[in-house]
C-alpha cells in the first residue's frame, strides 16, 4: 500500500487551521451531545453556513468532529440523567444509570470515555487499512440480510430487560406498533396517522427516546418528590478502579470489533452494534444477573461499539457516496456544497480530503478523551443539584432539543405524551429499553421483509438460499434456539448432579 497519501493526510491535519477546526468540532459535538435532543444532524445543518467560507478539508474535519464528539457527550446525559439522545446510547443508559445511582457515575463515565477512545481509534486504524476493500460489504447486504439482521436484533432486545421476560416482550410489541405509525413504506397508505400529516413520516426516534426515558423518568420522580431524598452518594473518580478496568478490558475489545463491522452497514448497523455488544457481554458473563443493575461491562462494550460504528459509518460515505444515517446525509450535503462529490472517485480525486478527514479522527478522539476526563468531574456535580431544581432545567432543555429535530412544536406534544407513557410503564413494571430499541428495529424489519418478498417474488425460501442471509439465519437460530436450549439442558444436568449430594 502506498503510504504517501496517508502521510500527506497527517500533514493536512497538523496545519494550524485544521487543528483548530478539529478542536472546535469535537468541542461543539461534545456540547450538543450533552444537550438532550439536540442531535448532530440538526447541529451540522445549522452550522453549514459557517463552513461556506472554509477550506473543504477544514469544514469536513469540523463537521465530522461534531458527529463523533456528540457520541462522547451523549454518554454523559445517558448515564447521569438516563437521557439517551441517540439510539446507540440507549443501551448505555441501562447499566450506566444504575452505576450512577450507586455513586459510581465518575468511574462509569471514565470507563465509557476510555472505551469510546479505544473503540474509535481501533476503528480508524481498521478503516485506514481496509476501507476500500470493505466498501463491498455494504453492498452485500440487501433487503434479505437486513430482514434477518433486524430479526436478530429484536430477539436480542429481549436480553436487555432485567425483569419479567413477558413484560419485556409486551414493551417491545408496543415499540413495534408505534413504529408502524406513518405512511406505509411500500404503498403510502396512511396507518394510525389519524388524518394528520404531522405523523405521515412516522415519529422520530429521538422523540421516543426522550419521551420514554427522559420525560418519563422526570415525571416518575415528580410523583415521589415528597419522599425523603437519598443521601447523595460519593461520585467516585473519573479514573476507573483496577477491578473495573479488568472487567472492561475484553468488553472494550469485543465491542470495538462488533461496532466496526456493523457500522459499515448503512441500514441501521450502528444501532445494532451497541445492542449486539451488550448481548455479547451479558451472554459471556459469568453472572449475567448483574446486568441491568450496574454492570460496568454493560457500559464498556456498547460504548466501544457505538464509537467504532460511528467511525466505520464513514466508510460507505467516503468510498461509495452512500450516507449511512441522517448525520452522514448532512455531511454528504456539506461536501456537495463545497463542490466535492463523495463517492467512488473521492479517494483518488481528493486524497487530501479523504485522508485529512480520516486522520483528523485520531486527533479528534485524543482531544475528546482529554476533554472528557476533566469534564466528567464537572458534570457529575450535576447530580448534587437538588432534584427540584435539576428536573425543570432538564425538562426545558429537553423540550428545546425536541423542537430542534424538525423545528416542530407538535413533536414536543408527542414527547410529553410519550413521557406519560413512560411514566405509566414504569408504574406498571415495564422497561422502556425494549420499547425504544424495538421501535428502531421495527421499521427496518417490516420494510426489509416486504422489499425482500417483492424481490423474491413471494418465495420465502430464498432467505436460506442466499449465502449471506442463510448464514445470518444460522446465527439467528443459534442465538435464539440452540444456545438457550443448551443452557436449560445444562442447568438441569447441574441440578441433577447436585441432587445426590444433598443430604
Partner 1 sequence: MAEHETDDARPEPEAPAPGGRVLAAVAGAVPVVLGAAAAWLSLRLDIGTLTDPGPGLWPLIVSALLVLTGAGILASVRRVEGTEAFTRGAIGVAAAAVGLFVYASLFEVIGFEIPSVLLLTAWLRFLGRESWLSTALLSVGVTAAAYALFILTLRVPLPHLIAL
Partner 2 sequence: MNPRPFTRRGLLAGAAAAPVAALAACNGVQGGADAAEDDFPTRAIDFTVPFDAGGSSDLLSRAVCLAAEEPLGQSIALANKPGANGAVGLKELVSGDADGYTLALAVKSLFAITPLVVDDPDAVAIDDFRIIATLTNEAYVLVVHADSPYQSLEDLVAAPSLNYGTAGVGTGGQLSLALLFGLAGTEATDVPFDGGAPAVTALLGQEIDVVSGSLAETMPQIEAGALRPLTVFSEERNVFLQDAPTATEAGYPVVVDQRRMVVAPSEVSDTVAGALVLAFEEARQDPDYQAFLQDNYMDVWEVDDVEARAHLSEAAELYAQNVADVGLALGDGS
Binding site for partner 2 (CB under 8 A): 41-42, 44-46, 48-49, 52, 138-143, 183-190, 197-198, 200-201, 266-267, 316, 320-323, 326, 329-334, 336-337, 339, 341-345, 406-408, 447, 451, 454-455, 457
Give the binding range for partner 1 (CB under 8 A) out of 75-83, 402-410, 462-470, 478-486: 402-410
Q: Is 80 exposed, middle or buried (0-12, 13-18, 19+ CB in 10 A)?
A: buried
Q: Cβ(315)–Cβ(127) under 8 Å?
A: yes
The span from the CA of 257 to the CA of 440, in Å, is: 22
Q: Cβ(15)–Cβ(55) under 8 Å?
A: no
The span from the CA of 129 to the CA of 262, in Å, is: 17
The span from the CA of 440 to the CA of 178, in Å, is: 10
> Would you give the distance in Å from CA 205 to the centre of its chain?
11
Scan residues 60-119 and list those touching partner 1 (CB under 8 A): 102-104
The span from the CA of 62 to the CA of 18, in Å, is: 8
Residue in 446, 448, 463, 466 binding partner 1, rule: CB under 8 A: 446
Is 455 an interacting residue with respect to partner 1 (CB under 8 A)?
no
Give the interface size with partner 1 as a residue count (CB under 8 A). Answer: 87
Give the binding range for partner 1 (CB under 8 A) out of 82-90, 169-177, 330-338, 493-501: 169-177
Residue in 241, 249, 341, 343 binding partner 1, rule: CB under 8 A: 241
**Shortest distance in whole angstroms from residue 198 CB to partner 2:** 6
Q: Cβ(66)–Cβ(77) under 8 Å?
A: no
Neighbours of 339 (CB within 10 A): 7
- What is the DSSP code string of 310-341? HHHTHHHHHHH----SHHHHHHHHHHHHTT--
**Shortest distance in whole angstroms from residue 210 CB to partner 1:** 12
The span from the CA of 292 to the CA of 290, in Å, is: 6
Q: Which does 347 bind (CB under 5 to 8 A by kind): partner 1, partner 2, none?
A: none
Give the binding range for partner 1 (CB under 8 A) out of 18-26, 265-273, 409-417, 491-499: 409-417
Q: Closer to partner 1 by CB, 104 or 145: give it.
A: 104
- What is the DSSP code string of 167-190? HHHHHHHHHHHHHT-EE-TTT--E
Q: Cβ(65)–Cβ(364) under 8 Å?
A: yes
Is 294 an interacting residue with respect to partner 1 (CB under 8 A)?
yes
Residue in 210, 412, 440, 441 binding partner 1, rule: CB under 8 A: 412
Q: Quick one: which H or E segment has residue 191?
A: strand 190-191
**Shortest distance in whole angstroms from residue 189 CB to partner 2:** 4
Q: Cβ(364)–Cβ(25) under 8 Å?
A: yes
Residue in 362, 430, 435, 463 binding partner 1, rule: CB under 8 A: 430
**Shortest distance in whole angstroms from residue 138 CB to partner 2:** 7
**Shortest distance in whole angstroms from residue 484 CB to partner 1:** 18
Q: Which does 45 bind (CB under 5 to 8 A by kind): partner 1, partner 2, none?
A: partner 2
Q: Closer to partner 2 by CB, 201 or 223: give it.
A: 201
Q: Cβ(99)–Cβ(108) under 8 Å?
A: yes
Q: Which does 336 bind (CB under 5 to 8 A by kind): partner 2, partner 1, none?
A: partner 2
Q: Which does 399 bind (CB under 5 to 8 A by kind): partner 1, partner 2, none?
A: partner 1
Scan residues 305-344 and list those touching partner 1 (CB under 8 A): none
Give the binding range for partner 1 (CB under 8 A) out of 2-10, 329-337, 354-362, 443-451: 443-451
- Report DSSP state, residue 479: I
The span from the CA of 200 to the CA of 428, in Å, is: 30
Residue in 9, 302, 419, 433 binding partner 1, rule: CB under 8 A: 419
Q: Which does 345 bind (CB under 5 to 8 A by kind): partner 1, partner 2, none?
A: partner 2
**Shortest distance in whole angstroms from residue 44 CB to partner 1:** 11
CA atoms within 13 A on the CB side of 313: 29
Q: Closer to partner 1 by CB, 146 or 449: give it.
A: 449
Is 200 an interacting residue with respect to partner 1 (CB under 8 A)?
no
Is 284 an interacting residue with respect to partner 1 (CB under 8 A)?
no
Give the binding range for partner 1 (CB under 8 A) out of 220-228, 310-318, 333-341, 362-370: 220-228
Task: Please name every residue paired with 182 in a beta bridge, in sequence order, or none if there are none.
Answer: 191
> Would you give the distance in Å from CA 147 to the centre of its chain?
19
Q: Which does 451 bind (CB under 5 to 8 A by kind): partner 2, partner 1, none?
A: partner 2
Planar angle of CA 421, 422, 425, nearest 5 degrees: 85
**Shortest distance in whole angstroms from residue 332 CB to partner 2:** 6
Q: Summarize the chain as % helix, strand, coil (round to 5).
A: 75, 0, 20
Residue in 427, 487, 490, 492 binding partner 1, rule: CB under 8 A: 427
Q: Closer to partner 2 by CB, 332 or 435: give it.
A: 332
Query: Which residue intervals of 36-158 are DSSP H helices?
Result: 40-51, 56-81, 90-101, 105-140, 143-157
The span from the CA of 92 to the CA of 98, in Å, is: 10
Q: Closer to partner 2 by CB, 99 or 322: give it.
A: 322
Q: Which does 478 bind (CB under 5 to 8 A by kind): partner 2, partner 1, none?
A: none
Amino acid at each position: 500500500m502506498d503510504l504517501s497519501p496517508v502521510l500527506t493526510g497527517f500533514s493536512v491535519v497538523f496545519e494550524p487551521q485544521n487543528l483548530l477546526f478539529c478542536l472546535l468540532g469535537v468541542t461543539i459535538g461534545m456540547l450538543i451531545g450533552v444537550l438532550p435532543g439536540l442531535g448532530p444532524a440538526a447541529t451540522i445543518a445549522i452550522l453549514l453556513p459557517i463552513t461556506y467560507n472554509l477550506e473543504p478539508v477544514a469544514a469536513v474535519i469540523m463537521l465530522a468532529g461534531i458527529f463523533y464528539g456528540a457520541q462522547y457527550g451523549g454518554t454523559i446525559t445517558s448515564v447521569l440523567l438516563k437521557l439517551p439522545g441517540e439510539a446507540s446510547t440507549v443501551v448505555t443508559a441501562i447499566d450506566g444509570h444504575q452505576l450512577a445511582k450507586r455513586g459510581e457515575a465518575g468511574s462509569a463515565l471514565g470507563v465509557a470515555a476510555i472505551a469510546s477512545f479505544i473503540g474509535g481509534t481501533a476503528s480508524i486504524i481498521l478503516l485506514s487499512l481496509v476501507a476500500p476493500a470493505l466498501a463491498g460489504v455494504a453492498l452485500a447486504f440487501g433487503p434479505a440480510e437486513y430482514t434477518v439482521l433486524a430479526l436478530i436484533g429484536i430477539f436480542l432486545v429481549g436480553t436487555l430487560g432485567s425483569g419479567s421476560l413477558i413484560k419485556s416482550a409486551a414493551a417491545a410489541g408496543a415499540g413495534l406498533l408505534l413504529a408502524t405509525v406513518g405512511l406505509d413504506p411500500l404503498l403510502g397508505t396512511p396507518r394510525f396517522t389519524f388524518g394528520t400529516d404531522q405523523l405521515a413520516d412516522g415519529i422520530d426516534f429521538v422523540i421516543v427516546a426522550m419521551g420514554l426515558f427522559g420525560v418519563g423518568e422526570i415525571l416518575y420522580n415528580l410523583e415521589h418528590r415528597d419522599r425523603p431524598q437519598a443521601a447523595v452518594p460519593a461520585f467516585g473518580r473519573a479514573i476507573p478502579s483496577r477491578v473495573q478496568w479488568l472487567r472492561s478490558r475484553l468488553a472494550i475489545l469485543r465491542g470495538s470489533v462488533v461496532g466496526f463491522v456493523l457500522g459499515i452497514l448503512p441500514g441501521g448497523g450502528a444501532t445494532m452494534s451497541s445492542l449486539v455488544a451488550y448481548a455479547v457481554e451479558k451472554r459471556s458473563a459469568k453472572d449475567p444477573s448483574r446486568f441491568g443493575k450496574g454492570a460496568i461491562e454493560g457500559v464498556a462494550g456498547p460504548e466501544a461499539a457505538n464509537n467504532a460504528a460511528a467511525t466505520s459509518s464513514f466508510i460507505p460515505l467516503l468510498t461509495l457516496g452512500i450516507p449511512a444515517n441522517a448525520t452522514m446525509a448532512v455531511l454528504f450535503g456539506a461536501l456537495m456544497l463545497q463542490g466535492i462529490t463523495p463517492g467512488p472517485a473521492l479517494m483518488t480525486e481528493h486524497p487530501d480530503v479523504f485522508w485529512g478527514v480520516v486522520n483528523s479522527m485520531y486527533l479528534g478522539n485524543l482531544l475528546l478523551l482529554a476533554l472528557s476526563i476533566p469534564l466528567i468531574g464537572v458534570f457529575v456535580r450535576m447530580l448534587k443539584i437538588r432534584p427540584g431544581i435539576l428536573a425543570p432545567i432538564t425538562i426545558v432543555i429537553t423540550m428545546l432539543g425536541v423542537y430542534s429535530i424538525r423545528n416542530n412544536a407538535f413533536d414536543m406534544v408527542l414527547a410529553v405524551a410519550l413521557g406519560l407513557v413512560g411514566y405509566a410503564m414504569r408504574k406498571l413494571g415495564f422497561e422502556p429499553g425494549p420499547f425504544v430499541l424495538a421501535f428502531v428495529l421495527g421499521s427496518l424489519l417490516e420494510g426489509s421483509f416486504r422489499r425482500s418478498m417483492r424481490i423474491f417474488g413471494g418465495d420465502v425460501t430464498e432467505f436460506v438460499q442466499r449465502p449471506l442471509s442463510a448464514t445470518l439465519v444460522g446465527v439467528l437460530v443459534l442465538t435464539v434456539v440452540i444456545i438457550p436450549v443448551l443452557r436449560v439442558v445444562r442447568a438441569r444436568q447441574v441440578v441433577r448432579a447436585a441432587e445426590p449430594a444433598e443430604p
